Structure 1
């Protein structure tokens, strides 16, 4: 196929995808997901589907590895099939119509999903991502075997190979993801993928990709989430004033960001259940002890739900700075204001209230503070 023919085929494919993905949903008919996972012994299995902000989950009874879900969606949405311990985890798209799932618990990378056009399109795309993970999984199993055998030589070798394979896989997956988004501006799958990669580091490119999408995709629930995230992140880029807020402290007292005017303050987002956050706390505590008397403050916003867990983590990690939360988890209002969708995350704010750096960890934070107070 020559270049001209290839371009023509791509355009025709895009047009067909547009009409397939965006035909009016038959909400009265809804969807029926029929699945069979060989070797599945769980009594129940779950199907979560929706957008990042509006995910719902259904439960189905498993009989001899078979199960059925029924429901209805107003538009195609991402879904995930999983069991209690996640030994089965299948990424998929859900749309009204008949959907089938077939596979085995012994080969979760080869579970097949088929159904309406968008379901098939995502399955094809997702298989490309899964194929990049297989070599990593193979080396991981070798590393685990070396660990269990207490073979230090093999463990060192396989660990190095695992790190290399994982880095390669991350790049391959990112390349596949970006290529898909660029080549399928009419697909809701592209919206689902884009909403996951929008960050303060790629706002300009993300905005271009979103603006290139079909209007129907932009106006979908996923599209609206992308637009909201781009708008939010645009308001908290380095160099802009930090958005003001007030939230209750662990002692149930209101604390405002404005009360830190005239000081350098690190706005730290964390949670008691976040392992990387807890691992970073000793480094942050060391920097706080070194620079607090010079005017460095930390204001920690917790994404916890349970106050007791929050209080226990503060005490266990000996965190002397001010802590606030509304105990709404990922829906923490300050977290949403600052576009936080992963923790740990932080913003360094100067005495005038301007954001001067983001996501400083370990030596990076110490280096920045040393620049401020040589």
Structure 2
């Protein structure tokens, strides 16, 4: 009768004995490193303090971590204080770049396992980094988050296929998940879902994996659908973005700190003055983090149409809903909450393009 309990015990023992080793060890051997201590710090949050330190003996140091929970990977830096009292990073070079093009990086990816950093501060070559598969993926694909996504749909689709293959080849790569912080705005909803599906469960549960999933979940599921969110006016009154009684709604996303946005305002004044407010509703939406900066800019610019601001607790969701990877961004939306035209960035020719489009649209609807 006791056999089932023995079986359960054996299963539990086997599970714990096969538990993944998440230990992280970083060993350094840097000639000319005269600092008594080196400091370990995750790169994000950027204003955070160092989380650990290690004593330096003859240029050698070691960090050793044994996380209580699963450790995926992280972007970190190791720094020291030089003889003048200045905090400096131990910069690493990329061995996969040609020697003459070696760039030096203050940050690097560390994952479970052993990472070694060797070098000589008296030379300008940077330290040599060797480590876990996560570290190697980072070094081999260091420019992945910063690739320029093509504006051409054919070129962009080719890039999407390349990124998809990278994820399929290394589905647990931290650096691939991190990359979507930069270029998630450039691919459509279905492409992002496809990318996300290719990641391992480990990568999906990481910080950047969760952020990507949340971004996808917050996006409109129907192409050209425009979410009719409720934001705030200067008196903190809740106001809907879309007025469905109008034939057309023109929504302008901007910020007080955005030079091109401010440069666009004279054109917006001429556009809003040209059309009957019974047909077209104009509203500018600020992405400013500080309300006082927005209020000051509104006073300076004297914009006569409706002005709203995104509450900070809604900002992350709004980024996905309206694809706010860059501003200024203008949406022309009909009374069925569908985008009929979108204009990104500032260009001297935008004013005439918008005027012509609105006039043609109103004449046909």
In which range does the TM-score fall when normalised by the shorter chain?
0.5 to 0.7
TM-score (norm 2): 0.62
Q: Which of residues 256, 260, 276 is equivalent to 1:276? A: 260
Asked if structure 2 preserves the Cα contact closer than 8 Å seen for 1:247 and 1:256, the reply is yes
* Aligned position for 1:298: 282
SS class of match (2:332):
strand
Matched with 2:48 is 57
Which position in structure 2 is the counterpart of 1:231?
217
Deviations 1:268-300 (A, max 9, x none): 222222333333333333323333547333322
Look up the match of 2:111.
95
Q: Deviations over 1:315-366 (max 9, x none)?
A: 2333332222255288355445434343333432112322223344443464
Gaps of 5+ in 2: 1-18, 80-86, 92-103, 149-155, 361-365
Assess if the C-alpha contact under 8 Å between 1:200 and 1:234 holds in 2: no
- The offset of 1:309, in angstroms, is 1.3
- Counterpart in 2 of 1:331? 315
Which structure has the highest helix share of the two? 1
Normalising by structure 1, we get a TM-score of 0.60
Which residue does 1:76 correspond to in 2?
Answer: 72
* CA gap 1:96/1:271 in 2 versus in 1, 3 angstroms: farther
CA distance in 2, matches of 1:273, 1:194: 25
Given that 1:264 and 1:349 are in contact with CA atoms closer than 8 Å, whether structure 2 keeps it comes out as yes
Within 1, Cα distance between the matches of 2:144 and 2:55?
31
Q: Tell me what 1:124 maps to.
A: 140
Find the aligned partners of 2:342 and 2:54 in 1 and give their Cα distance: 46
Residue 109 of structure 1 and its aligned partner are, at CA, apart by: 9.4
Cα 1:92–1:320 change in 2 (3 A) is farther
| 8 A Cα contact 2:219 2:320, kept in partner | no
Please list every run of 5 or more consecutive structure 1 residues that lacks an aligned counterpart in the other structure. Answer: 1-22, 134-169
- 8 Å contact from structure 1 (residues 262, 352) kept in 2: no
User: Equivalences for 1:295-374 in 2 at 5 Å?
Assistant: 295-328=279-312, 331=315, 334-361=318-345, 362=347, 363-364=349-350, 366-374=352-360
Total equivalences in the alignment: 307
Structure showing greater radius of gyration is: 2
Q: Distance in 1 between matches of 2:355 and 2:31?
A: 54
Partner in structure 2 of residue 144 of structure 1: none
Q: Is the 8 A contact 2:242 2:335 kept in 1?
A: no
State which drifts further: 324-333 or 64-73.
Answer: 64-73
SS in 2 for 1:343: coil
| Distance change (3 Å), C-alpha of 1:323 and 1:98 | farther
Residues 145 and 176, structure 2, Cα contact 8 Å, conserved in 1: no
Secondary structure in structure 2 of the residue aligned to 1:252: coil
SS of the residue corresponding to residue 246 of structure 2 reads coil
Looking at structure 1, the residues matched to 211 and 130 of structure 2 have their Cα atoms a distance apart, in angstroms, of 27
In structure 1, the partner of 2:96 is none
Q: Matched residues in 2 for 1:90 and 1:330: separation?
A: 33
